Each structure stands twice: as structure tokens, then as C-alpha cells.
Chains A and B, each alone.
Chain A
Amino acid sequence: MSDPVLPRVWLMRALYAALSVGIVFVNLLPISTVPPSWVGPDLYLALTFAFAARRPDYVPILLVAALALGMDLLFQRPPGLWAAITVLGVETLRNRAPALRDLTFLSEWAAVSSTLLVMTLTYRIILAVFMVDQAPLGLSLMQLAATLLVYPLVVLVAHAILGVRKRAPGDLEPARGRI
């Protein structure tokens, strides 16, 4: 309790890591082994973007890289590439977070959408250049759309339940350590 700023940040980081591991766990459950005709959203990416666009200090880039690389290895993707693209995308959003702070949710959503679209295209182009087998285009576009659609929900949950809120001008919490 002597320094309430540090525990809060670390608590949220731990929460983020735990949620990500939970998402991996749910994805790995062998519930259906039939190839799906539709694809759900990439919840981990939506969660990371929701955190990065609101409170960049809750998603340290090393943690993002470690989690993304772990997912690459577990989910049978080409190791490293999607992790690298995720790191770059999250870093872009983190840099834009101070500007997004004063804007509406719609502009944040647009920023997330454009980032995700560029990430997906880059990924597919690089895989095509290196001649790696890749998922059908329709399915990965479907996943992109699903992730974008689920993003407001994730933000709502993060905002209302987890308490990931943008720093408001009158917000004392981050400054408390300095006072």
C-alpha cells in the first residue's frame, strides 16, 4: 500500500497475461475437430488492441511478443512472423494512443481496423513471397471481420468490468507517485 501506482499497473499486466492464457486454453480445447465453415474472431488480438489503444502501459511489448510467439508455436503457424507483425501493430497503436485519447470511440475503432487490415495483408503477402501454405483468403477475411466486429464488445468488457479506461485530464491516479 505504500506505493499504490506500481501494484495497479502490475496487477493489470498480470490480468492481461492471464486472460491471454485463458484464450489460448479455450482455443486448444478439442471440442470440434471438424474443419469449420466459418471462423470466429481472434480474441487475443482484440484484447491486446483494446488494452493498447487505451492504456499502453498495461501491455508491455515484451509480454505481447512472448505471448504472440507462444501462440505461433502452439497454433501451428509459421513461428515468429505473425508475432513480429503483432508486435509492430501493437506498437503502432501504442504510439497513437495519446492522440486517440481525446477522440471518440469511432475513430479508435477506425484506427484498430486499419492496423488490423494492414497486418493481415502484410502477413499474407509475406507468406506468399516465401511460398508458405496459407489459409484460404475467404476464411482469413472472415476472421478479420469477426475480430473487428467483436472489438467493441471487448472494449466494453475491458472498460466496464476490468476497468481499463483512458486517462482523463483530471485523473490523479498516474500522477500520485509524483505528488
Chain B
Amino acid sequence: MARDRGQSEDYAGPFKRLLLGILVLCLVGLFLIWRIDSPRVERFRAQVVDQVVPSFDWAMAPVTGVVNILRDFQSYQRMYQQNQDLRRELQQMKAWKEAALQLEQENARLLDLNNVQLDPRLTYVTGVVMADSGSPFRQSVLINVGSRDGIMDGWAAMDGLGLVGRISGVGSNTARVLLLTDTSSRIPITTQPSGQRALVIGDNSPSPLLDFIESPDQVRPGDRILTSGDGGVFPAGLLVGQVIQDRTGRMRVRIAADYERLEFLRVLRSYPKDRINDPGSMIGPAAGPRARAADQANAARAGDE
């Protein structure tokens, strides 16, 4: 035994220590590179995730399914009561559906009167949640659509009810959705009916903080929260949730999306709006033969079309 120990110190010791040193240096170096050039390393991370997680998928989907069935099993025991509840809820929903249909017709009429063009490009891609972040300190999910399906960073992801998060990190087959509850998530929003601008700031709790409110006095618990689209990176008008007040009196968001069961997510295609950069050219026709020639060329082109 003693000989064994001596041997390893004599021969293997220095070599092992060298190996250990190199190893630790490499790992710390990777951390430093990540700190300096984060996007490149994050892209590498997205590629690794893209390779690894789909290979787990054959086992992951059934295991998740079984766990959910087991969890649902408790609810079978009070089937009757649940049935009653659902029936009552259905009654209410029918009333709401009538109201919604009437409102939809009214809305269509009003839009027609105003001649409003809705953005035709706001379509969506639906993806299935494959995995979560795996760590209790990070709130994100991985969905099974990626750059192959045209997903791009910064697009919004919703479930049927409301905003879930934004795309942050795209692999070829997978994309990561940063949830509103993650500590690095910030979304510009506007409240209704008070119309105040604010930010929804994730803090790793089920209801994110509402901060940087223009005038906090006007925001009341119960106000609806919609994305405002400020900054032009996020589509406007998506439902986020409702304002609530926590015990310390701070404004928080009760998220409309059902975070208990995220299964199918819609990723909204959104493209940055065209910007108007040149200030004066629309004010009047420029004088001079050159402009006139351009006008004629335009007219000719219009005639061709």
C-alpha cells in the first residue's frame, strides 16, 4: 500500500500535476473567452445543445409524458367534481364566446371603416418544448424548431394565452426561449387602460417585477399588460398578463401564459420595421432637369406595371 502511494508520487505525480494545470487553464481560458467574446461562445453552446439534446429526445418525450400522467392521476380521483367544475366553466365560456364573436364582428366593421391594414407578416411557427434549462437558476426552454425553420434571435414566443418569452440562441434544429421569469429577461410593455410604459424584469420568481414605470401612481393592480414594441426589436400588442401588487407593495406581473404546462409554443415571425432616414425628400418635388427626368422615369415604370 505504501509502495503504491510512493510509486504514484515518483512517476505519475509531476505528469499528472502538469495535466491538471493545463486542464484548469483551458477551462478558465474558456470562461475568459466567454466573458470577452460572449456571442461566439454562445453560438458554440447553441451548437452543442443542438447536437446533444435532440439525441435525448427519444427518451425524454416518453419520460415527461409518464411523469405528467402520474401527476394527472391524482385528478382522476376527483373526476366527478372536476366534471361539474368544467361544465360550469363551459357555460361561462359560451357566454364569453358569444361576446367575443360580436366583438369580432364589430371590430371587423370598425377596421373596415378606418381602412386599417393589419400587418400580414405576423405569422407564426409552432414548436414543441423539448427540454428546460436543467438548472434551477435559469429559466428557459428548448423548442424543436431552429434556424432550419427560419427562426431568428429576438422573436417572441407565446402559448395560446400570452407571451412566454423571447428567442435567445438558435441552433439549426433547436432554439432556446428565454422565459419572462429569467433574471436576464427585460421586455418593454405598456399597461392598459392607464397607458403607462414600463419594463417587465424577470427575477427568478413566478411573477416578474414591473419597473421603470413612467408614473407609478396611475398603474393599478388588475391593469392589463401588453408588449409595447419600444426599441423595435419586439412585436407590439402581445398580451403579457395583469398587474398585481405583492406584500411589500411592489408592482408585479401575473403572467397570462400557463407556465405550469408549456408544451406547444408559437414563435411569431417579426421583422424590423422600415426606418425613415432621409428627412425632406417627401416635402415637395425637387426642381431641376435631373429630378424631372427621374419623375418621368418613375412615371414610365408605373405605366409599365
- 1/0 per residue, CB under 8 A from B, across A25-44: the answer is 10111111111110110000
CB-based contact A169/B131 at 8 Å:
no
Interface 9-mer from B19-27, B85-93, B116-124, B187-195? B19-27
What is the interface residue range for chain B against chain A? Answer: 35 or more
Report how far A16 CA is from B166 CA in the complex, Å: 37
Task: Jot down 25 A-B pairs with beta carbons below 8 A, ordered by A.
Answer: A27-B134, A28-B53, A28-B60, A29-B64, A30-B262, A31-B132, A33-B129, A40-B136, A62-B23, A69-B27, A71-B134, A73-B45, A74-B53, A75-B134, A78-B31, A79-B30, A79-B31, A80-B27, A80-B29, A80-B30, A84-B24, A87-B24, A91-B20, A135-B137, A143-B136
- 1/0 per residue, CB under 8 A from A, across B32-63: the answer is 00110000010001001100110010011001
Chain A residues near B27: list those with CB within 8 A: 65, 69, 80-81, 83-84, 87
CB-based contact A39/B136 at 8 Å:
yes
Residues of B within 8 A of A (CB): 1, 4-5, 16, 19-20, 23-24, 26-31, 34-35, 41, 45, 48-49, 52-53, 56, 59-60, 63-64, 67-68, 129-141, 179, 181, 183-184, 204-206, 259-260, 262
Chain A residues near B134: list those with CB within 8 A: 24, 27-28, 71, 74-76
Chain B residues near A132: list those with CB within 8 A: 35
Nearest A-chain residue to B178, judged by Cβ:
A76
What is the interface residue range for chain A against chain B? Answer: 35 or more
Given the interface pairs A29-B64, A74-B48, the reply to whether A81 lies near B179 with Cβ below 8 Å is no
CB-based contact B179/A139 at 8 Å:
no
Given the interface pairs A35-B206, A81-B27, the reply to whether A75 lies near B138 with Cβ below 8 Å is yes
CB-based contact A29/B35 at 8 Å:
no
CB-based contact A27/B135 at 8 Å:
yes
CB-based contact B56/A79 at 8 Å:
no
Report how far A84 CA is from B35 CA in the complex, Å: 15
Report how far A135 CA is from B48 CA in the complex, Å: 23
Q: Taking A30-B262, A76-B138, A140-B137 as given, write out 12 further A-B residue pairs in contact, using a Cβ cutoff of 8 Å, ordered by the A residue number.
A: A28-B132, A29-B60, A30-B129, A73-B49, A79-B41, A84-B24, A84-B31, A134-B137, A136-B137, A139-B204, A143-B136, A174-B4
